Homo-oligomer: A and B are copies of this chain.
Amino acid sequence: MIERCCKRVILRPEHLVPADKRFEVIGVFNPGAAQCGGRDVLLVRVAERPCETRPGLLALPRYELSGDAVIDWFPTAEWDLTDSRVVRRRSDGLARLTSISHLRVFRAGDDDGASWTEGQSFLPDAPEEEFGAEDPRVTEIQGRFWITYVAVSRHGAATSLASTDDFETFVRHGVIFCPENKDVVLFPAQIDGQYAALHRPTGGSRFSSPEIWLARSPDLFHWGRHEPVLSGCAPWEAGRVGSGPPPIRVENGWLAVYHGAGDPRAPGSVGEYCAGAVLLDHCDPSRVLRRSPEPIMRPTADFERTGFVGDVVFPTGLIERGDKLRMYYGSADSNIGSVEFCREELLASLC
């Protein structure tokens, strides 16, 4: 574990007002990050849930096409509440989320990221975003910022694309990876004449645990040439892996930080989400050159261990600052933390 001691929480739910006054903010986490106008900009996920409670009834929120949030009330007894995030109707297994998420811009007020100014909100208003927009990643490509985010609806969890020049106005480009696909990150440059993305298809057939795949595109909108890249090998990542921030170019290839979680069925699994790193081949990023033998970061701080979902560090933004890498990450599905790594130390730890 090579995390630096300057790990700290920078945004908490209590710093935000909800987009809808009938809701409360329960999480601000999993931020995409970029540099815009010389300062760090975060595009964060804001999760909200209805404030009102009614005896014997379960409040399940969703967005209408107008962008307004609505609350559906169901008899609680009809639902399996084992997972506090995703409940399932007992009669048919149908899943619904207990919270809805939108995206919001925060701009750093200084170089240190000690103060943040709130900017625009990106509110779900498409049918495929009925249950929310989640977990954005931001990649700057040829001067424009491209945002991949999870669009959740009755049709499943897909990944959509949006773009912006300034984080003031956004253009939606629709679903680029169909359900179930999350943790889609774009490479910042073309490789061999094509754009590239890491993605994380999640099948229902259990031929494998979730794996990170590579895809290629002529235009960022249409994707193909799908190839598996890596699966979880070590116990801490055997249950689940997914890309974190967009890969960055380093001398010998592409450095990609990802998250991993243990297989909950494995003996002794602690179920925590950790961060790992992998070096991918410069010319063929489906080739893994080296990877971290153990997590580069584990949930150890209070704000990582306790929250809506405890014991989670979920890296989603990475900013290069000289010989340092500043990583922004979601902690415990509740807060946003930042941490700095020494680039060379991180690279040297891969084997």
Confirm or deny: A109 has a beta carbon within 8 angstroms of a beta carbon on chain B. Answer: no
Confirm or deny: A228 has a beta carbon within 8 angstroms of a beta carbon on chain B. Answer: yes
User: Nearest residue in B to A266 (C-beta to C-beta)?
Assistant: B92
**Complex Cα spacing A71 to B92, Å:** 38
User: Nearest residue in B to A202 (C-beta to C-beta)?
Assistant: B204
Contact with B along A210-247 (1 / 0, CB 8 A): 01010111110111111110000000000000000000
Establish whether residues B208 and A155, one from each chain, have CB atoms under 8 Å apart when the complex forms: yes
Confirm or deny: A199 has a beta carbon within 8 angstroms of a beta carbon on chain B. Answer: yes
Establish whether residues A203 and B92, one from each chain, have CB atoms under 8 Å apart when the complex forms: no
Q: How far is the CB of A161 from chain B (nearest CB, A)?
A: 8
Number of interface residues of A (CB under 8 A): 51
Confirm or deny: A12 has a beta carbon within 8 angstroms of a beta carbon on chain B. Answer: no
Q: A152 — which chain B residues lie within 8 A by C-beta? A: 207
Establish whether residues A224 and B174, one from each chain, have CB atoms under 8 Å apart when the complex forms: yes
Establish whether residues A203 and B180, one from each chain, have CB atoms under 8 Å apart when the complex forms: yes
Q: A213 — which chain B residues lie within 8 A by C-beta? A: 178
**Complex Cα spacing A208 to B155, Å:** 6
> Which A residues are within 8 Å of any B CB, using their own CB?
86, 88, 92-96, 128, 131, 152-158, 174-181, 199, 201-208, 211, 213, 215-219, 221-228, 263, 265-266
Among all A-B residue pairs, the 9 with the closest Cβ atoms? A180-B203, A222-B222, A222-B224, A175-B226, A178-B226, A156-B203, A204-B204, A178-B201, A179-B203
